[in-house]
């Protein structure tokens, strides 16, 4: 994501087409499909929120022994009928579930509805389609891969009830007409950890080209990871780098929002509950892009968009050498882009100086102009503009509801 807003398809008129819903089938997400446990099961600490001002002496907490989260997963294949998938899925009880659907390349997927075992519609794309609030990219037909994480916000709930859930999707062609005959693969991840105050986000760091052989870049990335750890830990999410790999990925990184086989291969080599962070020199030929998230939310399962990418060069600055402020800035870019991957949007999004979209959270301040928004949001991690003072230049705050979205992401264990 993170390269601007998707263009809403002007030609899509689903309400007027009056399609029949056909082809329901029952599948089960069960423990036999996959079972991952984290190490240890110690009593969790209830730490006080940490001070998030950049601290040169900050020692990151990478201890995974208190990471208690479990997740299970399953997958199934659904047939598309008259452009729609309408399936019944058995889901055990848990904290949150993530569904990632993939259709044939060149088609476009969107989640249209999610109905709980009691028959209550928990998610309906129509609530968000024309809304000035951005809720999830699952609402829009952006590519042949779509990810819906549920619940998203505190007001959406704090658990997934056991039972049969109805999942509905549309599959569209490049003209946004319904695709009448296709197959969709759906991966489901269920997070069973009920704790929404403490969680762990495991990160797999991949260096493009030969960057892992550049000690200065590696040192800066490690410092940036520590900064990301500090920012998220203040809200109870412990960012833990678990693996570092070199790769043959080009230093000019493909845009994960557009999808690329590189990221499918990379993510397939790791574990599902690992966020793939790729460090390169530039992104999609641009020397201006700081970082990009492969989705909002991004997929835990291996897809062509399962990555967050960051450019080291734009953060190193004119001299090409990192100072402490630049390492801090790169860490906050990692945190910002990962925020998108975990389901956060900018609190406000501008067209010029006018606010045209906001996120769907009630505790991110409301504002209507660039000047007004900066006064309220300039230190918020997800605010799209950074405002530097003479001695400080950082964004590290997250509201309680923003933190709630992070904790509800199924990959935060």
Residues that bind another protein in the complex, under the rule CB under 8 A: 2-4, 210, 251-252, 281-282, 285-292, 313-321, 325-326, 329, 333, 336, 378, 384-390, 393
Contact 197, 302 (CB under 8 A): no
Distance CA 240, CA 54 (A): 18
Which residue carries 């794309």 as its tokens?
125
Of residues 95 and 315, the one with the C-beta less far from another protein: 315
Nearer to another protein, 172 or 329 (CB): 329
| Nearest residue (CB) to another protein, 45 versus 351 | 351
Which residue, 189 or 232, is less far from another protein as judged by CB?
232
Q: At its nearest, how many Å lie between another protein and the CB of residue 374?
A: 8
In the complex, least distance from residue 6 CB atom to another protein, rounded to whole angstroms: 12
Taking residue 336's Cβ as centre, other Cβ atoms within 10 Å add up to 28
Task: Kindly compute the dihedral angle of the four CA atoms of residues 328, 330, 335, 339, in this order, to the nearest 10 degrees.
Answer: 140
DSSP string, 269-322: HS-TTEEEEEEESEETTBSS--EEES-TTPPSS--TT--EEEEHHHHHTTTT--
Min separation Cβ 256 and another protein, Å: 13
C-beta separation of 236 from 46 below 8 A? no
Closer to another protein by CB, 100 or 289: give it.
289
Count of other CB atoms within 10 angstroms of residue 58: 17
Task: Specify whether the CB–CB gap between 276 and 263 falls below 8 A.
Answer: yes
The answer to whether 243 touches 269, Cβ cutoff 8 Å, is: no
Contact between residue 115 and residue 165 where contact means Cβ atoms under 8 Å apart: yes
Query: Cβ of residue 18: shortest distance to another protein, in angstroms?
Result: 37
Tell me whether residue 27 or residue 308 sits nearer to another protein (CB atom): 308
What pairs with residue 238 in β-bridges?
200
In whole angstroms, the minimum distance from the beta carbon of 228 to another protein comes to 15
| Smallest separation (angstroms) from another protein to the CB of 384 | 5
User: Residue 154 or residue 355: which is nearer to another protein going by CB?
Assistant: 355
Q: Provide the H-helix boundaries in 8-144.
A: 14-17
CB of 118 to another protein, least distance (A): 39
Give min distance, CB of 213 to another protein, in A. Answer: 11
- Which CB atom, from 112 or from 262, has the smaller least distance to another protein? 262
Angle 147-152-155 from CA coordinates, rounded to 5°: 155
Q: C-beta of 365: minimal distance to another protein in Å? A: 18
Residue closer to another protein (CB basis): 261 or 288:
288
Three-state DSSP state, 155 = helix
Q: Which long-range contacts (CB under 8 A, 24 or more apart) does 6-13 make?
A: 6/137, 6/140, 6/142, 8/140, 9/140, 9/141, 9/172, 9/176, 11/175, 11/176, 11/177, 12/141, 12/172, 12/176
């Amino acid at each position: 994501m993170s390269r601007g807003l998707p263009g809403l398809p002007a030609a899509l008129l689903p309400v007027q087409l009056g399609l029949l819903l056909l082809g329901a089938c029952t599948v089960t997400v069960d423990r036999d499909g996959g079972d991952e446990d984290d190490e240890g099961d110690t009593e969790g600490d209830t730490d006080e929120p940490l001070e998030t001002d950049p601290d040169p002496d900050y020692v990151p907490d990478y201890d995974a022994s208190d990471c208690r989260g479990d997740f299970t997963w399953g997958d199934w294949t659904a047939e598309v009928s008259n452009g729609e998938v309408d399936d019944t899925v058995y889901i055990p009880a848990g904290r949150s579930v993530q569904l990632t659907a993939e259709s044939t390349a060149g088609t476009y997927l969107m989640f249209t509805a999610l109905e709980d075992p009691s028959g209550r519609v928990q998610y309906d794309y129509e609530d968000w389609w024309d809304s000035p609030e951005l809720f999830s990219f699952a609402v829009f037909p952006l590519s042949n891969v779509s990810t819906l994480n549920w619940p998203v916000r505190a007001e959406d709930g704090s658990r997934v009830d056991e039972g049969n859930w109805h999942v509905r999707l549309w599959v569209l062609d490049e003209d946004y007409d319904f695709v009448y005959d296709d197959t969709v693969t759906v991966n489901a991840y269920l997070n069973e950890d009920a704790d929404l105050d403490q969680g762990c986000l495991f990160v797999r760091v991949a260096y493009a080209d030969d960057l892992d052989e550049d000690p200065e870049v590696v040192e800066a990335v490690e410092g940036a990871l520590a900064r990301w750890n500090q920012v998220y830990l203040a809200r109870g999410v412990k960012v833990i780098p678990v693996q570092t790999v070199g790769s043959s990925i080009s230093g000019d990184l493909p845009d994960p929002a557009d999808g690329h086989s590189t990221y499918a291969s990379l993510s397939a080599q790791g574990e599902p509950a690992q966020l793939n962070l790729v460090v390169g020199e530039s992104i999609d030929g641009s020397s201006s892009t700081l970082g990009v998230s492969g989705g909002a939310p991004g997929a835990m399962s291996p897809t062509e968009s399962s990555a967050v990418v960051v450019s080291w060069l734009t953060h190193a600055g004119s001299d090409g050498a990192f100072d402490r402020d630049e390492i801090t800035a790169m860490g906050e870019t990692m945190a910002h882009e990962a925020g998108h991957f975990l389901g956060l949007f900018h609190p406000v999004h501008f067209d010029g100086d006018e606010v045209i979209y906001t996120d769907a959270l009630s505790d991110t301040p409301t504002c209507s102009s660039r000047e007004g928004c900066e006064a309220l949001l300039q230190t918020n991690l997800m605010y799209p503009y950074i405002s530097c003072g003479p001695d400080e230049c950082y964004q590290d705050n997250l509201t309680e509801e923003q933190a709630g979205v992070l904790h509800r992401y199924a990959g935060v264990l």
